[in-house]
Amino acid sequence: MSTENEGTAVPADHPAASSTPSTPQTPPTPQTPPTPPTTTPVPEATPTQAPAPAPAPAPEPTAAMPTPAAAGAGWPPPPPTVPAWGAPVPPAPPAPAAPRRRAGGLVAAVLVAALVAGGIGGGIGYWAAQRGDEGVSSTTVSSGEAPASFKREPGTVAAVAAKALPSVVTIQAKSGGSQGEGGTGTGFVYDQEGHIVTNNHVVASAAEGGTLSVTFPDGKSYDAEVVGRAEGYDVAVLKLTNAPKGLKPLPLGDSEKVAVGDSTIAIGAPFGLSNTVTTGIISAKDRPVASGDGSGGSNSYMSALQTDASINPGNSGGPLLDASGAVIGINSAIQSTGSGFGQTQAGSIGLGFAIPVNQAKNVAQQLIRTGKPVYPVIGATVNMQEQGEGATIASQGSGGTPSVTPDGPAAKAGLKAGDVITGFGDHQIDSGPSLISEIWTHKPGDQVKITYERDGKTSTATVTLGERTGDS
């Protein structure tokens, strides 16, 4: 309810408030012009009573003007000698005492302005009504007059979403335990054979004796089973047990060519709301992200694409698309205000992270071929807690083993315990997680230049990456 002028009384009746001029029943008889009454000016600061308009005097008779005897000769008659609205001239009210100057003057001025605006609107409305009687047609366009075949241009969000949505699925995972715990996530069609790519953490609860169902936007659901999953990459591949014909895989883009500022479209089921589309941009690249608690063997590491598209729990495993509709990443983690990286029940704050599709594609192909992930390694254990100074090779490995694997890639490159790795290829390294994230963007056998510091001296070496199969 608007309270714009609440408490300010407006007069109910005004001498000049008649909205319809009176229509004479018979032609009026010319009258002798009356002597205009003497009026007293009303102060301008009083909004409740305006001076009455002076009557228009009758014109002087001329030889061509009809006489009273000719009053019935026809219409129109001579101009009336009363005001245009047809009402008698009211007596002028006595002049009120000059108002005291106070803050209330501003309220009066606002009220006057409102009344003036209303008067203008009423005058225009009356004029428009009169013009409408003369046959002026309305220019209002109804929805029925809109183009019959409205089409959204290719490249618009609506067009990209309409094309991609049929290939994005909602995944229901249920564990095999007595409690039947599980959750909801997202995935997308990878090929026509019925493979679905998603995050490992979406299906982990159902991987051992649980059940998985996949629902398409048309409402049809299918049972699915895990083909393979990679904890470290946070990637998993499912297979529909009775895949329907006509599946349309989403096209895969090139995450290496993505630039900061590129438009992004995320599709998923945030908080179980399937087929939700959000938009944003690539706000950063090569973000080192550990999607667990930052320690432990079950964490996943990625050199992520950062986006401000709204991503929430349930978006996990869904595609991050570019403006052409190609997949450039798999939505995997969010920055939470309360608990660091990871998929929690906190909402989006505009910091979402996606696994680059080039890496996800390599992992998916490996899982489809063998069912197990293959990780590139340098053969050295690094400190995962320190940040800001690089990745320091630990003094010893887990269980008291050597921190640098004998005859491994790092050992062959000349690295030793205590060395601080500050660069890997073209990327700066500031911590253990950032080093692992960069290593896992490569393949076993790749040769990469490493920059490291030893005893305050900076050196470089070339390492040929080894490999490790499985998550154990």
* pLDDT tens digits along 232-246: 999 999 999 999 999
Kindly tell me if the per-residue pLDDT of 107 is higher than 50: no
**Which pair of tokens denotes residue 99?**
């108002």
CB neighbours of 40 closer than 8 A, spacing ≥ 6?
Answer: 92, 93, 94, 95
Q: What gap in Å lies between CA 43 and CA 37, rounded to an integer? A: 19
Q: Are 52 and 39 in contact (CB under 8 A)?
A: yes
Kindly tell me if the per-residue pLDDT of 462 is higher than 90: yes
Residue with tokens 């990456």, as numbered in its chain? 465
- Helices and strands (H, E) in the chain, number of each type: 6, 20
3-state secondary structure of 363: helix
Q: What gap in Å lies between CA 237 and CA 372, rounded to an integer? A: 11
Name which residue leads in pLDDT, 389 or 66: 389
3-state secondary structure of 223: strand
On the question of a cis peptide bond just before residue 313, with omega within 30 degrees of 0, the verdict is: no
Q: What is the mean pLDDT of residues 299-307?
A: 91
Q: What pLDDT band is residue 94 in, cutting at 50, 70 and 90?
A: low
Q: Are 366 and 395 in contact (CB under 8 A)?
A: no
Residue 149: per-residue pLDDT = 66
Q: What is the mean pLDDT of residues 259-281?
A: 94
Closest CA to 196 of 205, 187, 204: 187
Kindly report which listed range (140-149, 258-267, 292-301) carries the lowest average pLDDT score.
Answer: 140-149
For the chain, the first-to-last Cα distance in angstroms comes to 65
Percent with pLDDT over 90 in the chain = 53
Kindly tell me if the per-residue pLDDT of 152 is higher than 60: yes
Q: What pLDDT band is residue 127 in, cutting at 50, 70 and 90?
A: very low
Q: For 379-431, where are the alpha helices, taking DSSP H only?
A: 409-412
Residue 92: per-residue pLDDT = 54
Instruction: Name residue 264's amino acid.
Output: T
Residue 141: per-residue pLDDT = 53
Kindly tell me if the per-residue pLDDT of 297 is higher than 80: no
Residue 345: per-residue pLDDT = 55
Kindly tell me if the per-residue pLDDT of 105 is higher than 70: no
Instruction: Name residue 333's amino acid.
Output: A
Kindly tell me if the per-residue pLDDT of 179 is higher than 80: no
Q: What gap in Å lies between CA 57 and CA 79, rounded to an integer? A: 9
H or E element that contains 269: none
Phi, psi of 195, rounded to the nearest 5 degrees = -80, 135
Q: What pLDDT band is residue 112 in, cutting at 50, 70 and 90?
A: very low
Over 137-172, what HEC string results? CCCCCCHHHCCCCCCCCCCCHHHHHHHHHHHEEEEE
Positions annotated as catalytic residues are: 201, 234, 316
Residue with tokens 């979402």, as numbered in its chain? 352
CA distances from 335 to 268, 349, 351 (A): 17, 7, 5
The alpha carbon of 271 is separated from its chain's Cα centroid by a whole number of angstroms, namely 17
Kindly report which listed range (122-126, 170-174, 175-179) carries the lowest average pLDDT score.
Answer: 122-126
Predicted TM-score of the model (pTM): 0.66
CB neighbours of 215 closer than 8 A, spacing ≥ 6?
Answer: 169, 170, 171, 172, 221, 222, 274
Name which residue leads in pLDDT, 83 or 361: 361
Max mean pLDDT range (55-59, 94-98, 126-130, 362-366): 362-366
Q: What is the pLDDT of residues 323-341, one digit of tens each?
A: 999 999 999 998 877 544 4
Q: What is the pLDDT of residues 306-327, one digit of tens each?
A: 999 999 989 999 999 999 999 9
Percent with pLDDT over 70 in the chain = 64
